[in-house]
Amino acid sequence: MSKARAEKIKLVLFDVDGVLTDGSIWLFPAAPGVPLPTQTAAEPHADGGGYAIVSRSMIEAKGFHAHDGTAVSLARAAGLKTGLITKRITEAVRLRALDLRVDYVMQGVSDKRAALEEILVQEGLQADEVAFVGDDIIDLPIMRACGLAFAVPTARAQVKAAAHVITERAGGQGAARDAIEYILIAQNKLDAATDAYLREH
């Protein structure tokens, strides 16, 4: 049944912390200077909690896995679009998404289901044409609404229960690659996407 769902997918969305990363949040001293764009965007959320580190002396950093970066390239080669939806607001995410040419980058989002609806309108898609990869309870509304829900193996129990597929690898260790490859195999596009990726690189 999950493979039948995967055959319909045209857009794959990811949570960031715990999915594209292992969930660690690193704080480093920042050099004084002009505020980063995401720092300015985070300031309205300073009192909200859980959105961002709003500081002129600290920056938030994250670690991403190269295999997941390749996954985004494979998805693009196969004609799939990709996006990130995360509550936290960080420069690291903005830069990583720019590097990978991700189609949608939505930071500072606490209502991920509403973000999905916004993207569906923009893309002219139905919910069953979208996959989402999550790990924590904030992801449950979008996972329940989309066509194919993935959870990483380190996800909370409620999240794994809501998922159609559990990835083999953990967040920050290739989970996104597992999700993309699952979809491409179901759509019989993995070999062609791999060939296209190798020609491009």
Write out pLDDT tens, residues 65-114: 999 999 999 999 999 999 999 999 898 999 999 999 999 999 999 999 99
CA–CA dist 145, 192 (Å, integer): 30
The pLDDT value recorded for residue 130 is: 98
Residue 58, H or E segment: strand 58-61
Same domain, 76 and 51: no
pLDDT in tens, 4-22: 999 999 999 999 999 999 9
Same domain, 54 and 139: no
CA–CA dist 119, 12 (Å, integer): 11
Residue 69, CA distances (Å) to 2, 12, 76, 88 in order = 24, 13, 11, 20
Residue owning tokens 């993935």: 150
Compute the Cα dihedral for 19, 21, 27, 31 and give only its sign: negative
List the domain range (segments joined by +) for residue 175. Answer: 2-25+63-200
Same domain, 152 and 88: yes
The pLDDT value recorded for residue 27 is: 83
Same domain, 114 and 146: yes
The pLDDT value recorded for residue 151 is: 98
The pLDDT value recorded for residue 71 is: 98
* 65: helix, strand or coil: coil
Residue 37, H or E segment: helix 37-42
pLDDT in tens, 139-172: 999 999 999 999 999 999 999 999 999 999 999 9
CA nearest neighbour of 197 among 42, 65, 58, 72? 72
Q: How many distinct structural domains can be found in the chain?
A: 2
Same domain, 86 and 9: yes
CA nearest neighbour of 148 among 35, 23, 53, 6? 6
Q: Are 133 and 150 in contact (CB under 8 A)?
A: yes
Same domain, 46 and 6: no
Read off the tokens for 196. Answer: 């296209």
Same domain, 130 and 165: yes
Burial 46-82 (b: 16+ CB within 10 A, else e): eeeeebbbbeeeebbebebbebbbbbbbbbbbbebbb
The CATH number that applies at residue 97 is 3.40.50.1000
Same domain, 17 and 82: yes
* 134: helix, strand or coil: strand
Same domain, 74 and 149: yes
